[in-house]
């Protein structure tokens, strides 16, 4: 089963993608994570993408499409993919359709996570992650069980994203509404969309997504 998690920045895509990866043995592909890794490694892609990401704008389609195609090919044998943060434009969605078709694969479901803009700003302001394993946390909604120690790997270093500040979040939200939201119509026409209430707590959202995937032949 291949699925897309679609939603604004801070909606909970990364959190739910990680839970699905564990519960369904699917592979999570996050273009945001890949791009941040490229920036940290100082590759040519990282140099092209870094400034754009700091402004909260979208990286050019051809760059992210190439990145996703490479990862899909590198992991060809897996049960399926959870795409987190891709596609984000109609051109990316069309490229994904072509890419999957050429590889005799298909997209089964698009989960749309609905969250109000005000809640998103609060979620992003409180977001941090384990520096070692990437496990995501929140100052109010998901603190490590033992303070200062990662639940998943025992790591004690945590990081916050440079683009997780209010000014850049506003620009990321603008990009979402202008460039990404039209994908909901695109995929509704393909009959693939299931909307979930992303305002609920993490466990409730997880249950709703599970139900939305029932009929997708998981």
Q: Which is nearer to ligand ADP, 52 or 216 (CB)?
A: 52
CB of 217 to ligand ADP, least distance (A): 25
142: left (phi over 0), alpha (psi -120 to 50) or beta: beta
Is residue 142 part of the annotated active site? The answer reads no
Instruction: Tell me which residues touch ligand ADP (CB under 6 A).
Output: 7, 9-15, 31-32, 35, 52-53, 56-59, 64, 85-86, 88, 92, 123, 126-127, 136-138, 141-142, 172, 201-202, 205
Give all strands (DSSP E) within the chain, no chain letters: 3-6, 27-30, 81-84, 109-114, 127-130, 136-138, 158-159, 193-197
Nearest to 30 by CA among 63, 68, 62: 68
Task: Round to whole Å and give the CA distance between 126 and 140.
Answer: 7
Under the criterion CB under 5 A, does residue 155 sit at the interface with Zn ion? Answer: yes
Q: Decide: is 153 part of the binding site for Zn ion (CB under 5 A).
A: yes
Question: Which stretch in 4-12, 52-60, 95-103, 149-157 sits in contact with Zn ion by CB under 5 A?
Answer: 149-157
Written as six digits, the tokens of 126 are: 């409180």
**Rounded Cα distance, 153 and 133, in Å:** 7
152 near Zn ion, rule: CB under 5 A: yes
194 an active-site residue?
no
Contact residues: Zn ion, CB under 5 A: 130, 132-133, 135, 150, 152-153, 155
Instruction: List residues with catalytic annotation.
Output: 13, 88, 127, 161, 172
């Amino acid at each position: 089963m291949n699925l897309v998690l679609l939603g604004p920045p801070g909606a909970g895509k990364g959190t739910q993608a990680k839970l699905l990866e564990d519960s369904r043995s699917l592979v999570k592909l996050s273009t945001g994570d890949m791009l941040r890794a490229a920036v940290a490694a100082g590759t040519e892609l990282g140099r092209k993408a870094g400034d754009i990401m700091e402004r909260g704008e979208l990286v050019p389609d051809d760059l992210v499409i190439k990145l996703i195609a490479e990862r899909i090919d590198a992991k060809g044998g897996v049960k399926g993919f959870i795409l987190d943060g891709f596609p984000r434009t109609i051109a990316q969605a069309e490229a994904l359709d072509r890419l999957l078709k050429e590889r005799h694969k298909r997209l089964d479901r698009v989960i749309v996570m609905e969250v109000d803009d005000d809640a998103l700003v609060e979620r992003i302001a409180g977001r941090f992650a384990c520096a070692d394993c990437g496990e995501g946390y929140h100052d109010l909604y998901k603190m490590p069980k033992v303070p200062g120690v990662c639940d998943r790997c025992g790591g004690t270093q945590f990081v916050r994203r440079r683009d997780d500040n209010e000014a850049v979040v506003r620009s990321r939200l603008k990009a979402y509404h202008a460039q990404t939201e039209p994908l909901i119509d695109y995929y509704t026409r393909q009959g693939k969309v299931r909307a979930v209430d992303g305002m609920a707590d993490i466990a409730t959202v997880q249950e709703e997504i599970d139900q939305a995937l029932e009929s997708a032949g998981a």
